[in-house]
Structure formats: C-alpha cells, structure tokens
Amino acid sequence: MGDETTKPTKAPYLLIAPSWAALGILFLLPLLVMFIISFGMRGTYGGLKPIDDLWAYILSGDFLANYKRSLEPLYWPIYWRSFWMATVTTVLCLLISYPIAYYIAIVAPARWKNLLLALVVIPFWTSFLIRTYAWMLILRTEGLINTVLMEGGLIDKPLDLLYNEFAVMIGLVYGELPFMILPLYASLEKLDLTLLEASSDLGAKHVSTFWRVTLPLTMPGVVAGVVLVFIPSIGQFVVSDLLGGAKSMLVGNLIQNQFAVARHRPFGSAIAFELTAVVLLLLFAYAWWAKKRGQEAML
C-alpha cells in the first residue's frame, strides 16, 4: 500500500524536472550572475575589477555605487522618455486594436475570422529586425512615402519622417499591435452577444452599451493586452536604435550601451535589474487585479 501511494506522488516532479532545469539554467542562472555583477566594479579595460577585501567593500557601501549612479539626474530624461513612449505606444495599440479585434470577433462573418486572424499573425513569420528595416525604407528621405508625396506634387522637399520619436512610435505600435489584438480578440470572442441586445433592449444606445457592457466584460483582454505591450515597449532598444537615430535614447539603449559600447557590465546589470523590478511590480499588480475580479488571468 505504502509504495502504491508514494510512488505516484513523485512522478509529477520527475516529469516537470526537465522544464525546471531548462528554466533554471537558461533564465535563473544568468539572472543570478547578472545580479552579482551589478554590485561589482568595472575593470580598467572593461570586464570586472577584482575585489581584494570583500568585507571592506561591502561595509563601505561601494557595492551600491552602480545603483546610486543609475539614479543620477543625468538619466532621468531617459527613464521618463522610455516610460512615456511605452505608455503612448500602449494607448495607441489599444485604440487601434480594439476596433480591429471587435470587428474580427463580432462583426465579421464566421468564414472570414480565421483568415483575418491569420493576417494578424502572419508578420511574425518575418524577423522583427527585417520588418523594422522595412519601415526605414518606407520612412526615409528617399523612401516610399516621400517619393509618392513628391511625385504627386504634394510637397516640395522630403519630410523628416525617420530618426525621430515619431518613427520610433510607428515602429513600436506596429510591432506590438498583434500582442494587443490577440488578447482583446480572445475576450471579445467569449462575449455573449445577447447581453448587447439586452442592453439595447433596456434603452442603451450603442455608445452606452459599449461603456457599460462591452468594455467592462472585456477588461481581462484589455489588461492582458496592456501588460503584453507595455513590458516589451519599455525595455526595447532595437526600434529606437534603427528608427530613432541617436537622438531618442531609451532605457533599453542605455543598458545595451553599457554592455556593448561602454563595456560597463556592472552598471548595465544594475539598470537591467531595476527595469526587471518595475516589470515584475506591474505583473504582480496585474495578478492582484485578476484575483480580485475572481477571474483567471489571461497571462
């Protein structure tokens, strides 16, 4: 009897062990290494400076130097810009995605739904980097938009579309759009349309029905989409690098520069950790919200 009851309880752990091992080696271990590095000092030629007296180093408080530095006013505009860009990206994504998701889930004939969803997902087949380069071709001075406008005689000289925050925003919104559309679609798809009829029956016009019934009931999708878009937007560096030029540095670029250009791994690790903390805070807030609503989180 004893064997029969104890053996099966071990099986689940054994089965899940490979997953834990993969997660541990590929994610947790590097994070731990980064965490330790973030308290270190940069060596003269990059790399890490060896610490002679660990105890003295800790007591002097020097190990927090990288975190102190990261809070210097010099970097505030970068954090602020990152936060602001991520927020605007998220809001724009939400405003653009909701009608699209609504159309696919509710308005479109059933036989079109899968095709439309496929259209949302198909861009993933191409590398994000290549798609961002494509935007450069569209936005640059001799690019598609300027050429068409010039040929059409609508403008005399090319517009400055590339290498500014506007271009970064386009790239970000474009890239993150599917991550907003899909969760919104998932929750709109589940919406009981009779509720919309009931609302109309009780005197609510379309706008009223939207605010009082549709939106509250699809809130899980909205919040999931916001989380899914905001988090990658605040940490990204590729789009701002390619489309923003040097002018619009974001926190992602700052981190990347510490590793790739300034060769200051401890400082880069410290900022990366701060960013991770902010993201985790957001995720906890989301989990708390979902639990409070008694709903299963969509993430």
Partner 1 sequence: MSVSVDIAGVTKRFGDFVAVDRVSLQIRKGEFFSLLGPSGCGKTTLLRMIGGFEFPTEGVIRIGDRDVTWLPPYKRPVNMVFQSSALFPHLTVIENVAFGLRYKGLNNGAAKQKARDALALVRLEGFEDRPPAQLSGGQRQRVALARALAMEPEVLLLDEPLAALDQKLRKEVQLELKNLQKSLGLTFVFVTHDQEEALTMSDRIAVMNQGRVEQLDASHHVFEYPKTEFVAQFMGAPNFFTGVVKSLAEGLLYIGGRTEADIRARTTSDTWRPNDPVRFVVRPEKLDLRTKSGTSDGEVSIEVTIEDRVYQGVNTVWVVRGDDGERYMIYEQNDRPFQESSRFRVGGRAFMSWNPRDTVVLEKKS
Footprint of partner 1 on this chain (CB under 8 A)? 192, 194-195, 197-205, 208, 212-213, 216-217
Instruction: Provide the minimum distance between the beta carbon of 107 and partner 1 in the complex, in angstroms, as a whole number.
Output: 16
DSSP-derived 3-state class of residue 152: coil
Q: Which is nearer to partner 1, 160 or 192 (CB)?
A: 192
Q: Which is nearer to partner 1, 117 or 196 (CB)?
A: 196
Q: Where are the alpha helices (DSSP H) in 24-102?
A: 29-37, 54-60, 65-70, 76-102
Instruction: Provide the minimum distance between the beta carbon of 112 and partner 1 in the complex, in angstroms, as a whole number.
Output: 16
Give residues with Cβ within 8 angstroms of 4, minimum separation 6.
Answer: none
Instruction: Provide the minimum distance between the beta carbon of 220 and partner 1 in the complex, in angstroms, as a whole number.
Output: 11
Give residues with Cβ within 8 angstroms of 102, minimum separation 6.
Answer: 184, 188, 214
Q: Apex CA 163: angle with CA 159 and CA 164, to 5°?
A: 85
Count CA atoms within 13 Å of residue 44 on its CB side.
0
Q: Which is nearer to partner 1, 206 or 247 (CB)?
A: 206
Instruction: Provide the minimum distance between the beta carbon of 195 and partner 1 in the complex, in angstroms, as a whole number.
Output: 6
Q: Which is nearer to partner 1, 220 or 244 (CB)?
A: 220
Asked if 212 and 198 count as a contact pair (C-beta separation under 8 A), the reply is no
Q: Which is nearer to partner 1, 142 or 201 (CB)?
A: 201
Residue 186: name the closest of 65, 271, 297, 288 by CA: 297
Instruction: Provide the minimum distance between the beta carbon of 255 and partner 1 in the complex, in angstroms, as a whole number.
Output: 41
